[in-house]
Amino acid sequence: METRPSDLVIISRRIDVDPRPVLETNHIWNTDGVVMTHFINAFQALFPEGERVFIEAVRDCLTRYPSVAQDPVLKEDIDHFIEQEARHSIVHEKWNDALVASGYPTMVAYNQELHRFRTWSRSHLDRMTRLSITIGAEQYTAALAKLFSSDRPEIVLHSAPLFQKIFLYHAMEELEHKAVSFDLYRRLKGGYIRRMAGMMFISFYIWENVLRRHRYLLRKDGLWDRSHQREYWRFYLGPRGLIRVLVPKFFEYLRPSFYPWQSDERQLFEKRFGQLRTDLDIQGFQYANPLKEHPLVDTFPKTTS
């Protein structure tokens, strides 16, 4: 069975950013234009509440199955995962607050919708289902981090420096912890059917919310004419459209044998962005000495769906 890289070190970086001054003076901070800028604004708007959903799903499974702590490596990874996600939530909450302050008040209502979903899901969905949704969402964030360093580096490179810093910081940590919730799901004997259902649910949920927010931001700027509508759909479905680029990456997830660390993007990411990362004062990837095998006590309940 494939496992995390033995040299993996998950670290929680601290960055101090305030997007408000940038957004107050320049709504279009990516040089590829308003459609690209507002896609990023829309997508990141899901993170504050989304990260809390992920943290709660993982914590609730730990509460229900405390024997997970018998695996010290997994337990340490989970602790770092929670710390990283909590800080991501704070950074993106500042971004959302800045959007509201710069003239997009409906983002408050959108965030309240996400909060209601978080509350509802914790009351109505069982722990393993919420964990399956989490690992599906983590596949999305890891895929976007891969996208930065392979197909679409301009998403980072054409952005204002403050947003470059947020992208690189967040993407690096998504790559580091991309398998943590998956490892927990696997240790708890989560099944393939439930994993696929979680991915289907989160795929619909993410894109319905992103597309709606994206349209709102464009309309608020008075840019929902035919020309911008065509650009909007070309951005997603054109020859280099985001969805068309991402789809092959998600076919990987359909394999029963899928594991997030079947590819390791850390060196490629550093090769692409290492100098920029240094210039922006972001701590790089850390590598441990190879770890010995850690025998795990297989005392978890069987979950087959």
For residue 294, being part of any structural domain is answered with no
* Contact predicate 174/143, CB 8 Å: no
Helix or strand run (H / E) with residue 124: helix 106-124
Q: How far apart are CA 277 and CA 15, in angstroms?
A: 12
For residue 267, being part of any structural domain is answered with yes
* 190 three-class SS: coil
For residue 250, being part of any structural domain is answered with yes
Question: Can you read off the two tokens belonging to residue 49?
Answer: 């509440």
Helix axis angle, 72-101 to 106-124, nearest 10°: 150
For residue 270, being part of any structural domain is answered with yes
The number of domains in the chain is 1
For residue 284, being part of any structural domain is answered with no
Alpha-carbon dihedral angle through residues 267, 272, 274, 276, given to the nearest 10 degrees:
-160
By the 10 Å C-beta count (0-12 exposed, 13-18 middle, 19+ buried), 180 is classed as: buried
* Contact predicate 153/212, CB 8 Å: no
Which pLDDT does position 148 carry in this prediction? 83
For residue 18, being part of any structural domain is answered with no
Q: How far apart are CA 236 and CA 177, in angstroms?
A: 27
Q: How far apart are CA 168 and CA 151, in angstroms?
A: 15
Q: How far apart are CA 138 and CA 168, in angstroms?
A: 16
This prediction has a pTM of 0.92
For residue 21, being part of any structural domain is answered with no
Query: In terms of residue numbers, what domain contains 101?
Result: 35-279
By the 10 Å C-beta count (0-12 exposed, 13-18 middle, 19+ buried), 20 is classed as: middle
* Contact predicate 43/209, CB 8 Å: no
Q: How far apart are CA 255 and CA 257, in angstroms?
A: 5
* 165 three-class SS: helix
For residue 182, being part of any structural domain is answered with yes
| 112, 116, 187 from 120: Cα distances, Å | 12, 6, 26
What does the pLDDT profile of the chain (305 residues) look like in tens digits? 788 999 999 999 999 999 999 999 989 999 999 999 999 999 999 999 999 999 999 999 999 998 888 899 999 999 999 999 999 999 999 999 999 999 999 999 999 999 999 999 999 999 999 999 999 999 999 998 888 888 789 999 999 999 999 999 999 999 999 999 999 999 999 999 999 999 999 999 999 999 999 999 999 999 999 999 999 999 999 988 888 888 887 888 999 999 999 999 999 999 999 999 999 999 999 999 754 443 333 434 444 44
Question: Can you read off the two tokens belonging to residue 261?
Answer: 């660390």
Which pLDDT does position 39 carry in this prediction? 96
